[in-house]
Amino acid sequence: MTNCFDRRHILSFLGSSVVAWPLVARAEGDAPVIGFLNSASPDPTLQRVAAFRKGLSEMGFERQAAAVEFRWAENQIYRLPGMAADLVRRHVTIIAATGGTASALAAKRATSTIPIVFEIGGDPIATGLVDSPDGSGGNITGVSLNIDALAQRQFELLREVIPKASTVAVFLNPDNRNSPGQKARVEAAARVVGMQTLALDVNKESGFDRPFMTLQQRGADALFVANDPYFLEWRQEIVSLAARYSVRPFMRHAPSWRGRPDELWGQPQ
């Protein structure tokens, strides 16, 4: 599973790709303007922004030589199309679409001429970002971690950690267009190891308390958190609530836990 360290390296690579892509063209003497589009909030992604700037710097673009126009949707996916359109109106040189598939799709729909470099966790072909693995023939390219494909291995590990587990709660963000596909993959992975899933929609509207109360009432043995920028931003809250409700969380980019191991994981089962 990709961890935070790996993701920072990928963002550094993305920063390098932004200025290395041959399609990037600008008027002689003009400094490039890079549009940075992200579905989340800036605070939890500061390390990733630093990695992105590092990639730019490694390609010879210091802050004075390249301007970056940041757009943060604050986990309000509906804002992304307007933000992408605004970057196009500002005639940015290239758009770096980060923070998930929603950002990349918004950028793709906003322009067919400005180069786009994306960083996502899902399948770019299945979501319609590109038509082929090499992404040839369009104005968009990028990096896919394909984290969703790891669900089978994650459930195998879950079975090893909690041998008697029978029901696993799954947090899905209904605002994410990938949610139905994520749900199907998770359910299939759970069936292989003989588990049932309890799918729970979780977003800004629902908050976290109600879903955690539901999974406790339904007797869930563990919590599987789907790949989503919203859950990335609130990962510390999720882990803290999981400890309070005595359920083991399995999630991408889990934060460092400062308490005792038994406060997070409980007693071996």
What is residue 25's predicted lDDT score, i.e. its pLDDT? 45
What is residue 254's predicted lDDT score, i.e. its pLDDT? 53
What is residue 267's predicted lDDT score, i.e. its pLDDT? 40
What is residue 113's predicted lDDT score, i.e. its pLDDT? 92
What is residue 253's predicted lDDT score, i.e. its pLDDT? 57
φ, ψ for residue 188, nearest 5 deg: -65, -40
The pairing of beta strand 33-38 with beta strand 167-172: unpaired
- Give 145-200 pLDDT, tens digit per residue: 766 567 888 888 888 888 989 999 999 999 887 888 889 989 999 999 999 999 99
What is residue 79's predicted lDDT score, i.e. its pLDDT? 94
What is residue 44's predicted lDDT score, i.e. its pLDDT? 61
CA angle 22, 26, 27 (to 5 degrees): 145
Q: How far apart are CA 77 and CA 252, in angstroms?
A: 20
**pLDDT over 70 at 3, yes or no:** no
Average pLDDT over residues 27-39: 76
What is residue 55's predicted lDDT score, i.e. its pLDDT? 76
The alpha helices in 59-164, defined as continuous H runs, are 80-89, 101-110, 151-161
Percent of the chain with pLDDT over 70: 75
For the beta carbon of residue 98, count every other beta carbon within 10 angstroms. 26
Give the global pTM: 0.65
- Give 239-253 pLDDT, tens digit per residue: 999 999 999 898 865
Assigned token pair, 226: 């789907």
Greater confidence (48 vs 226) lies with 226
Select, from the ranges 8-12, 71-75, 86-90, 148-152, the one with the highest average predicted confidence (pLDDT): 86-90
The alpha helices in the chain, defined as continuous H runs, are 4-20, 46-58, 80-89, 101-110, 151-161, 179-192, 209-217, 229-233, 235-244, 261-265
Q: How far apart are CA 211 and CA 197, in angstroms?
A: 14
- Give 117-150 pLDDT, tens digit per residue: 888 877 788 788 888 776 656 889 888 776 656 7
- Give 218-242 pLDDT, tens digit per residue: 999 999 998 888 888 888 899 999 9
